[in-house]
Amino acid sequence: MFEDHVAKSANKQKTKKVCDRTVVSHDPPLVQQNPGTAQWFADLVRSTGNTGRLALNIKADGLQRALLDTFQTAGLPLTQVFAFDMSVPDTLGYFATPMPVYTRMSEYEDTSVFMDRAQGVWVDNFTGGFPQIARSQAIMGQGLRAALVSPELHGRDHRPLWDDILKNRLHENPLFELCTDFPQDAATLLGA
């Protein structure tokens, strides 16, 4: 149960700075709420033995060094994390580090930037009309990881996409990843 919470939280957390501390918070954190620090979160993940990949939705510039130090201190390998969604200038800073970086693609970002430098692509679908399966197949065909955003994260039923994942056997490709609020259900259905 505790690991479920960590796995679910890991998919949804955003990393930002508050009062000179790197914190983990999905919504804008208030100092009086005492948001968990990135170090606390990394230590927590390490203590559970969770080996799933952590998607770091970056919401403040200049966190590269702090995050690298955090993961090193916690003993989490960089192969277990990736950073995405940061500003374009900040992305360039991540490319200058060993931190894995994903670019993004959706119906609003049809042509993904940095495809030649990224290790993967965050494949989003805000409205339900973006061809996530076809785009993910093409991305993985280029040797990049494809992290599909499950529809429940945008308030829609996840089952049609998951059925398409099964039908197209995307889950059998080692470059396939799924960001979901239902990690245990996904593991059961997709055989993770």
Sign of the C-alpha dihedral, residues 94, 49, 180, 123? Answer: positive
- Cα gap 24→150, rounded to integer Å: 21
Determine phi and psi for 101, rounding to 5 degrees.
-125, 135
- Please state the pTM of the whole predicted model: 0.84
Stronger pLDDT, 113 or 78, i.e. the higher one: 78
Distances (CA, A) of 134 to 83, 109, 164: 23, 15, 10
Q: Where are the domains of the chain?
A: 1-97, 101-192
Return the structure tokens found at 116: 């030649």
Per-residue pLDDT tens digits for 3-40: 444 444 444 456 555 456 676 766 665 655 667 888 99
- Cα gap 126→6, rounded to integer Å: 25
Per-residue pLDDT tens digits for 37-86: 889 999 999 999 988 889 999 988 999 999 999 999 999 999 999 999 99
Residue 145: what residue type? Answer: R
CA atoms within a 13 Å half-sphere pointing along the CA-CB vector of 97: 19
Residue-averaged pLDDT of the chain: 87
CA atoms within a 13 Å half-sphere pointing along the CA-CB vector of 9: 17
Kindly list the strands in the beta sheet with 176-179, ordered across the sheet, starting from the edge strand earlier in the chain.
Answer: 102-105, 120-123, 145-149, 176-179
- Cα gap 15→68, rounded to integer Å: 13
Q: What HEC string does 38-59 produce?
A: HHHHHHHHHHHCCCCCEEEEEC
